[in-house]
Amino acid sequence: MTSIAALTAFSGVFALGVIFAIFGSVKLKLQEQLKIDDAKASRLISSLMFSCLVFSLLIGALTPTLGFRNVGLMGFAAGALCVWLLAATPTYAGALTAFIALGFAAMCVNTVGNTLGPQVLFDGKNPAAASNLMNVFFGVGSFLTPLIIGNLIGKAGYKVTLCIIGLLLAIPIAWTLMATNLPSAGKPFDFERAISLLKNPAVLMGGAALFCYISLEATLGGFLTTYLADHKVDAGKVNNYLSLFWIMIMLARLFTAGLGAYVLKDAGPMFFKVYVPILALVAAGSLMMMVSAKNAGAAILAMLITGFALGPCFPTLVGVTFSKTGASAEVFGTIFAIGLLGGIFTPGLMGTYSASGNIRGGMKVLAGMAVGLLVLSAVLGLGIADLPVAK
């Protein structure tokens, strides 16, 4: 049972990586197909994030009743169908519908992966290390998606390539069907308990830190291809460099999981409380390097440093929050919903900068978000989130 449970959880975060990487991977081709500018394209990623916000709360509330298996099956199936819709639609309205529906799929697989994983890995005793190991597979999905699309779209065409991505999302249905004895997803939804989460300092601070992180990840994932094109990087290679960005995120999470589980061991939980502030400081510096980069080589190097610094932030923030509240679908859904507000507004802001020919100005905003992440993650890890829950 444990192996099937772990496989289902790993598949959930892998599928989330695929879904979140699709926009950045097809952005340039999609704009060409639909004849839209950066400002209008940014509304697609913002719509995905808004949909994720709504469904994060809904799926978080329903998962204890439906169970991890049913939620996972809905997510994998819906993800595949939405990508196939995106492949087939010739209109902006159709693409917008596909991205909004992808939000439902994303939050199903996200809730399963990031809530089930910490319960079944490391005997449920090291949630930060477990979350980092889980989210290595987010990185795998995120780097495979632009890699596959970048290398196939010129040969097989836009529609066929996206159909292959949809098939990748459908494959985990096979073993999720066999996952009949998964751990409990928590207590059935209770309105008063859900409201009480919004009075919990750890939940509020974890959500606020995720606001900054998701602002960074969603915006970079969607606009790095445009940033590289601004540096005259060959259009045929930009997706490969985007894959390298996601590989750096994946490697950083793998490194962090090993560090917490096998090197630091018992000292890991204490170390993780200060880990994200350190990483956020590095990310702020590397984002300013992206602003000031004079050539493509410097821009790519700064981008890769940024990816490595940001990689462990999301799973570590989730793990640190769980260490204070306990792992549950409701807690995860609440902090993720708060965080998704950043994914709604910040890509739109970047789209405005990019459409006016000033994408570097947008990168300065992201550097500010990294500073915000530094401050909020430090507060989460070092004290205020341990205060008594407000009555």
Return the CATH number at 101: 1.20.1250.20
Distance CA 215, CA 211 (A): 6
Distance CA 348, CA 152 (A): 29
| pLDDT higher than threshold 90 for residue 14 | yes
pLDDT for 390 equals 37
Residue 182 domain-assigned? no
Model pLDDT for residues 185-240, shown as the tens digit of each residue: 666 666 677 677 778 888 999 999 999 999 998 889 878 888 888 888 876 778 78
Distance CA 371, CA 114 (A): 25
Domain of 79 in residue numbering reads as 2-175+192-386
**Percentage above 90 pLDDT, the chain:** 32
Residue 180 domain-assigned? no
Q: Which two three-digit tokens encode residue 148?
A: 């596959």
Of the two residues 170 and 344, the one the predictor is more confident about is: 170
Per the prediction, the chain carries an average pLDDT of 84
Residue 118 domain-assigned? yes
pLDDT for 262 equals 60
Q: How far is CA 107 from the centre of its chain?
A: 10
pLDDT for 385 equals 44
- CA angle in degrees (0–180, nearest 5) for 97-25-50: 40
Residue 183 domain-assigned? no
Count of domains observed in the chain: 1
Contacts of 236 (CB under 8 A, 6+ apart): 150, 154
| pLDDT higher than threshold 90 for residue 104 | yes
Q: Which two three-digit tokens encode residue 120?
A: 């079944």
Residue 315 domain-assigned? yes
Residue 368 domain-assigned? yes
Distance CA 27, CA 39 (A): 12
Which residue is associated with the tokens 């993780």?
A: 272
Cα 284 to Cα 245, 277, 305, 326, 371: the distances in Å are 16, 11, 10, 30, 6
| pLDDT higher than threshold 80 for residue 129 | no
Mean pLDDT throughout 122-128?
Answer: 69
**pTM for this one?**
0.75
Distance CA 210, CA 281 (A): 15
Residue 184 domain-assigned? no
Of the two residues 135 and 79, the one the predictor is more confident about is: 79
Residue 234 domain-assigned? yes
- 8 Å CB contact between 143 and 243: yes
Model pLDDT for residues 154-195, shown as the tens digit of each residue: 888 888 999 999 999 999 999 999 887 777 666 666 667 767
- Helix ranges (H only) for the chain are 2-34, 38-66, 68-88, 92-120, 127-156, 158-170, 173-176, 191-197, 201-230, 238-258, 268-292, 296-310, 313-325, 329-355, 359-382
Distance CA 95, CA 166 (A): 15
pLDDT level of residue 102 (50, 70, 90 thresholds): very high
Model pLDDT for residues 250-279, shown as the tens digit of each residue: 889 888 877 765 666 565 566 778 889 999
Amino acid of residue 46: S
| pLDDT higher than threshold 70 for residue 106 | yes
pLDDT for 1 equals 46
pLDDT level of residue 74 (50, 70, 90 thresholds): very high
